Structure 1
Amino acid sequence: MDDLDDELRKLFSDDRLDVHSTPVATESVVAGANRRRRRRTAVTGTFAVVAVVGAVAGVLQLNSMQQEDTVGALLTTSSTTASTTPPPMSVSTVISTATVTVGAPPNSNGSTNPDVPGSRTTPKSNVTTSAPATPEAQPGRYGSLSLGMTEADALATGSLLQAGTAADGRCKTYATKSNANDDAVVISPDRGIVRIQLPDFAKTPKNVGKGSKVADVKTAYANAVQADARTTVKMAATPPWSYVFENDGTVVTQVFMRLDANDCASV
């Protein structure tokens, strides 16, 4: 084994077995290596350019797709909104006119409507009924005398003067200190004082008296009732009584306070 090693060493150390390269061969090897290096560089640059172009194209394509998606989304939203908005409502006003004939002659079957057998047209009344005015609350009293007061109580006031007899023969009449007329006060034996005549200067609480216009009476008292030469105004009191304004149709000539439930014929 050692001998074989020695032989191999001798063989490899023999200069005759060496291969010596010429200068031309060296230059050829170097030139080939340079060509291979340039090829690799060119191929690498080409791949780099292709990669850059591909990346740019991809970015452009992505932007274009995003823009198209955005425009599509906007168009879709706008179209959807427009389609879901209800159109404005149209309001129409229809005016119908009905003609009603009142008092038309009935048909042979007793109908006043030629289209509906047996129907009858009832005319409507346009008359408005208003409630009567409420009487005002005011006691039937003038000075110390009151309607319904007995003769004894009236004499006790000292307001009555000479006595007289009414036309019916049962009721009494008196003048008063403020009114010299013989029948200024009329007294019934059953109902007491049934009428008091106001003096010419006296006025009612609403400033109506002798010389006032009848129109003023009706303006002052909403429940005034005109009958012949008298305008009567009822009052709400106990016992019930009324103002009586005697007049000539235009001007008041006398004013009385009269008990509604009186039994003297001259009142």
Structure 2
Amino acid sequence: MDDIDDELRRLFSDDRLDVHVTPDATDSVVRGADRRRRRRAAATGTFAVVALIGAGLGLTQLRALDDPTGGSLLPTSSSTATTTTPPPLVSTYTQTVIVTVDPPPGSQDDIENGSVPPKSNTPSTATSPSKESAPGVFGKLALGMSEEDALKTGSLTTPGADTGQGCKPYATVSNPDPAAVLVSAAKGIVRIKLPDTAKTSKGIGAGSKVTDLKSAYPSAAVNGSELVVQMTATPKWAYVFENDGSTVTAVRMRLADNDCPGA
């Protein structure tokens, strides 16, 4: 134990183990510390600059996102006022003209049943008196129809005696008059007498005033005790209104081209 202590004392007292400090050692340490402080300061400044640059770039990107126009300049409005001349006013005038004409005649079935309502006695200004026109049809029968075809309709009932001139009279289901229909062997049906309850498409029938008849048919022509209204339909025919001078007593339809006396 004493030997170890003696050896340690010897080593610590050996001058060769002493650390010799140069006279400028203190200055060197101070200068080194200064250099380290400057490096730290420079590094801190650089970091701050980089941070500022990064922040600036971030703000720029935010502005770009907030500004959908991409930072383009908005056009400024011109200080010069533009004067536009308004278009001229256009006035539109519309005129409606109402022309009253006779409605189309009712079906012959309606006439046969007497269900066609009377028409106004005022003559139509849209139809010339010389151009009266309507089909020569009554119910299922038509002027010019052959006897065979007429019998097929079922409208003819009791046949009368042949006049000897090839003309045969018939009663009909709507008119018991034995001569309501007159059929020619050559011309077919040449006469159809309307029932007393039936009226024409203009509301004229048995019992109508002659004045009303002339108002409804201005083209009516006097033929003895009859008033005849010619029609321009094909085949041509006429209304024959029998009357006593003041009242219509019977109405019949007559084929213009017929060969039966008294048709």
Deviations 1:77-102 (A, max 9, x none): xxxxxxxxxxxxxxxxxxxxxxxxxx
Highest Rg: 1 or 2?
1
Distance 1:189 1:170 in 2: 5
1:195 corresponds in structure 2 to 191
- Structure 1 pair 169/134, CA: closer, same or farther in 2 (3 Å)? closer
Deviations 1:215-236 (A, max 9, x none): 1111001111112210000111
Distance 1:174 1:134 in 2: 32
1:162 corresponds in structure 2 to 158
- TM-score, with length taken from structure 2: 0.50
Instruction: Determine which of 120, 133, 148 is the counterpart of 1:137.
Output: 133
Distance 1:202 1:164 in 2: 23
Distance 2:210 2:149 in 1: 35
Residue 162 of structure 1 deviates from its aligned partner by: 1.2
Distance 2:204 2:164 in 1: 31
**Amino acid paired to 1:188:** S
What CA RMSD, in Å, does the superposition of the two structures yield over aligned residues? 1.2
- TM-score, with length taken from structure 1: 0.49
Q: Which residues of 2 match residues 41-190 of structure 1 at below 5 A?
A: 133-190=129-186
Instruction: Determine which of 246, 255, 262 is the counterpart of 2:258.
Output: 262
Q: Identity over the aligned pairs, expressed in percent?
A: 52
> Could you list the runs of 5+ residues in structure 2 that have no partner in the other structure?
1-127
> Could you list the runs of 5+ residues in structure 1 that have no partner in the other structure?
1-131
1:24 corresponds in structure 2 to none
Contact kept, 8 Å, 1:168 with 1:266, in 2: the verdict is: no
Distance 1:243 1:266 in 2: 14
Distance 1:241 1:139 in 2: 9
Distance 2:222 2:242 in 1: 10
Distance 1:184 1:233 in 2: 19
Matched, 1:244 2:255: no
Distance 1:263 1:172 in 2: 12
Residue 167 of structure 1 deviates from its aligned partner by: 3.5
Contact kept, 8 Å, 2:206 with 2:251, in 1: the verdict is: yes
1:82 corresponds in structure 2 to none
Secondary structure of 1:222's match? coil
Contact kept, 8 Å, 1:186 with 1:196, in 2: the verdict is: yes
Distance 2:222 2:243 in 1: 10
Distance 2:133 2:223 in 1: 23
Distance 2:186 2:172 in 1: 21
Residue 239 of structure 1 deviates from its aligned partner by: 0.4
Contact kept, 8 Å, 1:160 with 1:176, in 2: the verdict is: yes
- Structure 1 pair 185/253, CA: closer, same or farther in 2 (3 Å)? same
Q: Which has the higher contact order (CA 8 A, sep 6+)?
A: 2
Tell me the number of residue pairs that the alignment of Structure 1 and Structure 2 aligns: 136
Deviations 1:89-122 (A, max 9, x none): xxxxxxxxxxxxxxxxxxxxxxxxxxxxxxxxxx
Instruction: Determine which of 203, 227, 230 is the counterpart of 2:223.
Output: 227
Residue 258 of structure 1 deviates from its aligned partner by: 0.3
**Amino acid paired to 2:237:** W
